[in-house]
Structure 1
Amino acid sequence: MRSGADLELVHLTKRYGTALAVNDINHVFTNGTYVCLLGPSGCGKSSTLRMIAGHESVSEGQIVLDGHDISYLPPAKRGTAMMFQSYALFPHLSVRDNVAFSLKMKGEDKATRHRKADEMLELVDMGHLSARLPAQLSGGQQQRVALARALVTNPRVLLLDEPLSALDPFLRIRVRAELKRLQRELGITFIHVTHGQDEALALADEMVVMNNAVIEQAGPAREVFTAPRTEFVARFMGGHNIITLGDASYALRADEVRLAPQGHAATVRTVEYQGNHVAVTSAMGEAEVLALIPDHDFFKDPKNPGDAVSLAWDEGRLHRLQA
């Protein structure tokens, strides 16, 4: 077992009756990293997060933080803090008192807890609204208060359960940047559950992709995207084609496919303008192949559904998948 403030999952398992939600997973989250835990609904990512937080019991295995088994400690004694998707702010308490609430439960005096709450509110740029009630705040502002409340206990690990899902797209991108900045400034581990690949690619130092209650692949974000190990990871991350040649399957990034004078014969199915590129989906035998063509290249010789085309790619860009 590791020491240091790394968080380690050892043969971690969660059963609900006969259903297996998390199946014997082993993983080390390196201290001070931004980790995104992602996968489709029902893959086990939220159950894993809730077990780390102490909001869900462990069926088997251990959760080890800084060399200590925290699997059976109550949430407040673990050195972790959780920020919920719903924010769960107390409507009758001011912003400052919401943030200070857990310190009040620990018995800290009013002056100390207010000072700590104010420091955290400044960190998330909400100091000027400390006297307001949650109902007087926008969704993005409520979220920052929830973040300050989670951070005020000085956790070693912050757990975030789909924290951006309730925000509109513009705000989501802004808050995403703030989360990354905060994680770097604080130097603590963030474990962020999402099913959004874009969100994970933008934020994660490490991505942990789950499927069917196990970890399918983990590694740096760029590595998981450019070198998916399995067909599931390639399809889930998006932007890849799965091409079968002989008895092997390969992942091929859609931006590596081009329309060329010679190549594999195909018929255009759909054409979608997406701004800086055009998404052209073609039927190549039984397979459907997506090509992302830079818009200036596409419009030199535009194609329409039903057109015959030749698809080409550099053979060196085919990435072999595990069976």
Structure 2
Amino acid sequence: MRTGKDLELVHLTKRYGDTLAVKDINHVFRNGTYVCLLGPSGCGKSTTLRMIAGHESATEGEIVLDGQDITVLPPAKRGTAMMFQSYALFPHLSVRDNVAFSLRMKGVEKIARHRAADEMLALVDMTHLAERLPAQLSGGQQQRVALARALVTKPRVLLLDEPLSALDPFLRIRVRGELKRLQRELGISFIHVTHSQDEALALADEIVVMNNAVIEQAGSARDVFGAPKTEFVARFIGGHNIMDLDGGRFALRADEVRLTDDGRPATVSQVEYQGDRVAVTAKLGSAEVLALVPEGAFFADPKTPGDAVGLAWDEGRLYRLMA
């Protein structure tokens, strides 16, 4: 349900000369939700984010926030804040002064802006490092400072451009949990650009999958993963088989495929142990089918490449793909 505080894109288009980067997008980002714009490089997701932020002009269309057309407003007057992938911290300023910088530019006096900065540093658990310079911080700590700096202006929408890409895998998992916690505590909208399917599935209330300058599918993480509408979404979100059956094209989740003695005859071509499950790829006619088998079930009857197997699934778990 749309509310007055939602962010809405209306026929939003961006061209660079003859190149169409974003094509006639219409979408409503509901207030207070965590949304991930997901897609491959060059799909238009970062350009869309920059247009919302005001760092790119829209060629056509409108951007409406809280009932106000903000399409031509400068970034500082939009009610949005953007956290950049590079963090872009000032090396000569302390952590506290980095966070307070935008308030300084607005003419907020020192005591008030430092009070506001300290509130944000407490929110991201960085109070104890307020006097340090950016060079004295780890990558994860710099990320928190950049997040506090974006939040200090009390935006209605926080925009995050690949915010976790510079972090190591262990820290990335921890920080994405912190992002989700902050979004819930603040109650504002987060719009987060990523090309990581795992990141989007872990964080998003809504996933917006983009490809070739348009939105291919939008919905809850469970809906997008469980019921992809197009072949691109099924392949990009991962964990699906694309199958031609009875003259139609279908998606079938790999964890819905069972290894049996009496299923469709196939030959194992690859086995990959993944901890709690084993990925078994089998040749079925001219197609390769992936089955994700629970570890216990697999090792009760292990398979190796070249073994004959039967493949089975419930027909009701097939999802017909749009052309």
Amino acid in the other structure paired with 2:65: L
Q: Is the contact made by 2:3 and 2:30 (CA closer than 8 Å) also made in structure 1?
A: no
In the TM superposition, structure 1's runs of 4+ consecutive aligned residues that sit over 4 Å from their partners are none
Amino acid in the other structure paired with 1:285: G
Q: Distance in 1 between matches of 2:4 and 2:151?
A: 20
For residue 177 of structure 1, what is the aligned residue in structure 2?
177
Unaligned runs of 5+ in 2: none
Amino acid in the other structure paired with 2:108: E
Q: Is the contact made by 2:39 and 2:211 (CA closer than 8 Å) also made in structure 1?
A: yes
Q: Distance in 1 between matches of 2:187 and 2:302?
A: 49
**Counterparts of residues 51-66 of structure 1 (less than 5 Å):** 51-66=51-66
For residue 249 of structure 1, what is the aligned residue in structure 2?
249
Amino acid in the other structure paired with 2:263: G
Q: Distance in 1 between matches of 2:299 and 2:102?
A: 59
**Counterparts of residues 49-198 of structure 1 (less than 5 Å):** 49-198=49-198
Deviation of 1:315 after TM superposition, in Å, equals 1.1
Q: Is the contact made by 2:44 and 2:211 (CA closer than 8 Å) also made in structure 1?
A: yes
Q: Is the contact made by 2:161 and 2:193 (CA closer than 8 Å) also made in structure 1?
A: yes
Q: Is the contact made by 2:281 and 2:288 (CA closer than 8 Å) also made in structure 1?
A: yes
Deviation of 1:4 after TM superposition, in Å, equals 1.3
Q: Distance in 2 between matches of 1:16 and 1:322?
A: 30
Deviation of 1:144 after TM superposition, in Å, equals 0.1
Unaligned runs of 5+ in 1: none
Aligned length: 322
Q: Secondary structure at the match of 2:300?
A: coil
Range 143-152 or range 284-293, more displaced: 284-293
Deviation of 1:295 after TM superposition, in Å, equals 1.0
Amino acid in the other structure paired with 1:11: H
Deviation of 1:3 after TM superposition, in Å, equals 5.8
Q: Is the contact made by 1:242 and 1:249 (CA closer than 8 Å) also made in structure 2?
A: yes
Q: Distance in 2 between matches of 1:315 and 1:10?
A: 39
Amino acid in the other structure paired with 1:60: E
Q: Is the contact made by 1:228 and 1:234 (CA closer than 8 Å) also made in structure 2?
A: yes
Q: Secondary structure at the match of 2:165?
A: coil
Amino acid in the other structure paired with 2:37: L
Q: Secondary structure at the match of 1:207?
A: strand
TM-score, normalised via structure 2 length:
0.99
TM-score, normalised via structure 1 length:
0.99
Q: Is the contact made by 1:3 and 1:67 (CA closer than 8 Å) also made in structure 2?
A: no
Amino acid in the other structure paired with 2:234: A
Q: Distance in 2 between matches of 1:247 and 1:169?
A: 42
Question: After superposition, what is the alpha-carbon deviation per residue over 1:118-172, rounded to whole angstroms, capped at 9, x for unaligned?
Answer: 0000000001100000000000000000000000000000000000000011100
For residue 288 of structure 1, what is the aligned residue in structure 2?
288
Q: Secondary structure at the match of 1:90?
A: coil
Deviation of 1:113 after TM superposition, in Å, equals 0.2
Question: After superposition, what is the alpha-carbon deviation per residue over 1:257-283, rounded to whole angstroms, capped at 9, x for unaligned?
Answer: 011011111111110000001100011
Amino acid in the other structure paired with 1:92: H
Amino acid in the other structure paired with 1:312: A
Q: Is the contact made by 1:30 and 1:189 (CA closer than 8 Å) also made in structure 2?
A: yes
Question: After superposition, what is the alpha-carbon deviation per residue over 1:185-237, rounded to whole angstroms, capped at 9, x for unaligned?
Answer: 00000000000011000000000000000000001110010010111101111
For residue 225 of structure 2, what is the aligned residue in structure 1?
225
Q: Is the contact made by 2:40 and 2:195 (CA closer than 8 Å) also made in structure 1?
A: yes
Q: Distance in 2 between matches of 1:293 and 1:237?
A: 19
Q: Distance in 2 between matches of 1:66 and 1:273?
A: 49
Q: Secondary structure at the match of 1:262?
A: coil
Q: Secondary structure at the match of 1:100?
A: helix
Question: After superposition, what is the alpha-carbon deviation per residue over 1:71-100, rounded to whole angstroms, capped at 9, x for unaligned?
Answer: 111100000000000000000000000000
Deviation of 1:246 after TM superposition, in Å, equals 1.8
Deviation of 1:301 after TM superposition, in Å, equals 1.4
Q: Distance in 2 between matches of 1:58 and 1:107?
A: 30
Q: Secondary structure at the match of 1:299?
A: helix
Deviation of 1:5 after TM superposition, in Å, equals 1.1
Q: Distance in 1 between matches of 2:33 and 2:275?
A: 33
Amino acid in the other structure paired with 2:120: M
Amino acid in the other structure paired with 1:267: T
For residue 36 of structure 1, what is the aligned residue in structure 2?
36
For residue 215 of structure 1, what is the aligned residue in structure 2?
215
